[in-house]
Homo-oligomer: A and B are copies of this chain.
Amino acid sequence: MFDPTVDLKEQMVEHRRTQILLGAAKVFAEKGYHKATTKEIAQAAGVSEGTIYNYFDNKRELLLAMIELLALQSLKSIINTQPPADPKEFITIILRDRYQLAQERGYLIMPILAEMFTDAELRQEVYQKLAMPVAGFLERYIQTHIDSGMFRPVNPVIATRVFIGSIVVNFAMKLANLDARYEDISPDALIEELASLFMDMLLNPERANEK
């Protein structure tokens, strides 16, 4: 039996969840998870405190649900890209994409990162859902190019984390206003420099001559 009201209902529930989640994200970003109160979240989401508990078991579930939300947005862009043949060009595309994501959604990820350091379960969750999909994609890309002889025989797992750590720290520096010298580096210049460094790190010098 086909019951269209079920779908409609599900849609409405999903819509409410997202509405609450976005309210929570806003407040988490401003105050951090612990200092955000459910009252503030309710206000930001435009619902009452009680309603939050109709859609989420407790405050922590809001944080966990935000991971899924982020994962969705984080992967959408990166995975579907058809990699260009030139690795530097590809890395530049990825850097641009991640920089944009950091700029637009950085506030969403900050409270999650903060809690990761304390909460082992959350750590697992974030690693599985947010980090691994991207990391795995990069690992495979590196491995492929090692096999083809274009990249040096580096450890792709480690090299991927070098890549991730480098961009996380550098983009954080650029966006957090902690070091005045980053103000003099344009986003494009930063991306170009990082891409160059990675290329020098990865490209097989023997093959480079062929080019």
Contact = CB atoms under 8 A, between A and B. Distances in A.
Interface of A: 31-35, 110-111, 113-119, 123-124, 127, 152, 154-155, 157-159, 161-162, 164-170, 173, 176, 178-179, 181-182, 185, 190, 193-194, 196-198, 200-202, 205
Q: Which 8 A-B pairs have the closest CB atoms?
A: A32-B118, A165-B169, A165-B165, A114-B117, A34-B34, A162-B166, A201-B201, A165-B166
State the majority secondary structure of interface residues on A: helix
Nearest to A167: B165
Contacts of A119: 32
A154 B201 contact: no
A45 B201 CA distance: 47
Given A34-B34, A170-B165, A158 B197 contact: yes
Given A31-B118, A35-B118, A157-B179, 6 more contacts: A113-B117, A123-B178, A161-B166, A162-B162, A165-B165, A165-B170
Given A164-B169, A201-B200, A118 B111 contact: yes
11 contacts: A32-B118, A34-B34, A110-B117, A111-B117, A114-B118, A123-B178, A155-B185, A158-B190, A165-B168, A165-B169, A168-B169
Nearest to A112: B117
Contact of A157 (B111, B114, B161, B181): B181
A147 to B, nearest CB: 18
A179 to B, nearest CB: 7
A178 B129 CA distance: 12
A176 B110 contact: no
A111 B118 CA distance: 7
Nearest to A114: B117
